[in-house]
Amino acid sequence: MIVAGNWKMYAGPDPAAVAARVGAIGGVDKIVCPPYTGLASCVAAGLATYAQNVHWENEGAYTGEISPRMLLDLGVAGSLVGHSERRQYFGETDAGVARRAKAALEAGLSVIACVGETQEQRDAGDTETVLRIQVDAIGDACGSHERLVLAYEPVWAIGTGLTATPEMVEEAHALIKSLLDVPVLYGGSVKPDNAEVLMGQPSVDGALVGGASLDVESFAAICEAAAR
């Protein structure tokens, strides 16, 4: 099981406190994804640390971006790519997400690549089509790479308090795994009180946690649920 905490554009909790609290929880890979300013302190605390995004070039005139090589030099282990907020607010495309994932993997980073449908797409009955397009783009670029993980995050459940039912989650995860043979995490308002039932679905390999990862005890409770 894998539990990754995405701190988004928040300073987040004290990395040393996180490490002390979750370090002894066995059977779970615990990952934190702080803002760029927090990467070094999370690495220093001994946490498995991922960036929230990564560019496909190792250097160049790409203002505001960060390269795989720069992350590796900091001791960072991996990166998110294609988070729904990157797609929604910054215009990231399926092709660009796949390109970022491929470059990161080739450089030696691990990757959590995010996929998921909007409310409008689900209401229109297009969930399967959207997921096939997004997953195929990543799969065509990366294949079933040993350091690649996907995260299914229905956009309508990100930061809204809405959560997909366990049945919805299992259906989507089973589809994704039929397209690409890699672990798949669920992301979308995961909290201590719903984590165990969501991660208990047969095709769910862990969770990508947003707001609940900003509190040490909340994040630890989700990690403990994963361990069970």
Domains and CATH numbers, the chain: 2-227 (3.20.20.70)
Residues 6 or more apart whose Cβ sits within 8 Å of residue 206: 1, 2, 3, 4, 28, 29, 183, 185, 186, 199, 226
Indicate the pTM of the whole model: 0.96
Question: Which uninterrupted H or E stretch holds 114?
Answer: strand 110-115
The pLDDT value given to residue 188: 87
Please name the residue that has the structure tokens 């992301």.
187
The pLDDT value given to residue 63: 97
Q: The tokens of 201 are what?
A: 């679905």
Strands 206-209 and 2-6, by their bridges, are parallel
Find, among 8, 10, 69, 78, the residue nearest to 43 by Cα. 78
Query: In this structure, is the dihedral angle defined by the CA atoms of residues 105, 176, 119 and 122, taken in order, positive or negative?
Result: positive
Distance CA 92, CA 83 (A): 9
Q: The tokens of 79 are what?
A: 């990166």
CB 185 within 8 A of CB 6: no
Tens-binned pLDDT, residue by residue, of the chain (228 aa): 999 999 999 999 999 999 999 999 999 999 999 999 999 999 999 999 999 999 999 999 999 999 999 999 999 999 999 999 999 999 999 999 999 999 999 999 999 999 999 999 999 999 999 999 999 999 999 999 999 999 999 988 877 777 789 999 999 999 999 999 999 999 988 999 999 999 999 999 999 999 999 999 999 999 999 999
The pLDDT value given to residue 158: 78
Q: HSE on the CB side for 145, CA within 13 Å?
A: 24
Q: Which positions are annotated as active-site residues?
A: 83, 153
